[in-house]
Amino acid sequence: MPGLPLSGIRVIDLTWIIAGPTATRYLADFGADVIKVEHEQAVDPIRLGRPIVGDSPTLNNSGFFNYVNRNKRSILLNVRHPFGMDLLKRLIAVSDVVIENFSAGTLASWELDYPEMRELNERIIYCSISGFGHTGRDRDHTTWGPTAQALGGLTLTSGLPGITPAGWGYSFMDHTAGYSAAIAILMALHHRHRTGEGQHIDMSQVEAATVLNGPAVLDRTVNGRSWRREGLPPGNRAWEPAVAPHNTYPCAGEDRWIAVAVTSDAEWEALVRAMGEPDWSRDARFGSNADRLANQDALDEHIAAWTAERDDYDLMALLQAAGVRAAVCQKPGDRVESDPQFAARNWWQSLPHPDMGDTLHDGVAPRLSSTPGLLQRAAPRIGEHTREILSEALDLSEAEIDEFAEAGVFM
């Protein structure tokens, strides 16, 4: 769309599941024409992923798919068909970026790796996202979001002291790899703008996880200390800098919690005043940060007893007014239905979808003052833009498209 930062950039999106679609979601939000290449015989599993609208999943009623694929267009193209592969190559020849997140070697098996893409378009930027990258001993190994987290070291450093690793649960690394890939594509576009040169971006999910482990890696290499030692991982408590109180505490109501972080003696005094200066707060065990750290269990018990009798949002307002860092542990319904900050910034926006009706979407982050991103359309129905794309990008006539359809190129 004219006026958006990436207007005029065409992206051939061969991605699926989460990591790749997360990257192209960012590009589409800022105006890139993201063309999602799909095939009904090998459909993206997220198209069938929950939550769904209706009684049973179809190819077009997944809230999950709608979340990661807004602002994109969809073309049906059977790349196993020789005419289908030819059309894909013709699209690459008139595009700026190709991105995929298959296992390493998949596009090479299609005879469509980076050198072959360069023969089609010497300015092309090819971004591949895989578990280990396209080189090295483990290049052919497969990963999933949680396994990439484990191999990258994040799982071992999560959880509570003295218990087995908890892991991150949801596929955190899929999203992180997607963010990193989007940034890399922007850098490659900038490089091409200066030099005219395209390039291959080799994105490893495991490496994207590993760079988040700086303190643990340094502690091992410099000090020879394992992360999983007494007191580590710290759970909700701070370990660097080591300050207390620093935890989540129960509030009134079912499963309501507030996070409180006190980083100095001045903030501790502010918390004490906000609590009404209870007698226990003047106990010598809590006189300094070092004392509070040595007696965190008792400290947390006292604070929890105080917070448990209070409404979480009222408590957040009270503590913030006193100068204490505090925030409600919001549930999805809190964020969507009642958060005044999100409402003030018009964060939640509705887009119409032909199968799901009006669908609520989170806003575009970050916010650029002159060229902000834009929610233009909900996720595409499968193959919704096939004719439109072939006509616009390749200048094919309706009769030519009909011939391809009769030949089974879109089946």
d(CA 173, CA 61): 25
User: Count of CB atoms within 10 A of residue 330's CB?
Assistant: 16
**Choice among 13, 174, 202, 312 that is catalytic:** 174
Q: Cis before residue 233, ω within 30 degrees of 0? A: yes
Are 72 and 34 in contact, with CB atoms under 8 Å apart? yes
d(CA 5, CA 12) in angstroms, rounded, equals 18
* Six token digits for residue 259: 């996070």
- DSSP conformation class of 368: P
Length of the chain: 411
Q: Which of 112, 113, 174, 104 is nearest to 139 (CA)?
A: 104
Lookup result for tokens 């679609």: 21
Q: What is the DSSP letter of 52?
A: B
Assess whether 174 carries a catalytic annotation.
yes
Copy the structure tokens of residue 21. Answer: 């679609």
Beta-bridge partners for 99? 13, 127
Residue 364 token pair: 């575009």
**Dist CA 354 CA 372 (whole Å):** 26
Instruction: Order across the sheet with 246-250: list the strands.
Output: 246-250, 257-261, 325-328
Of the candidates 196, 22, 35, 230, the residue with the CA atom closest to the CA atom of residue 122 = 196
Query: H/E element holding 257?
Result: strand 257-261
Distance (Å, whole) CA 398 – CA 232: 64
Report whether 178 contacts 236 (CB < 8 A): no
Which residues are known catalytic residues?
A: 174
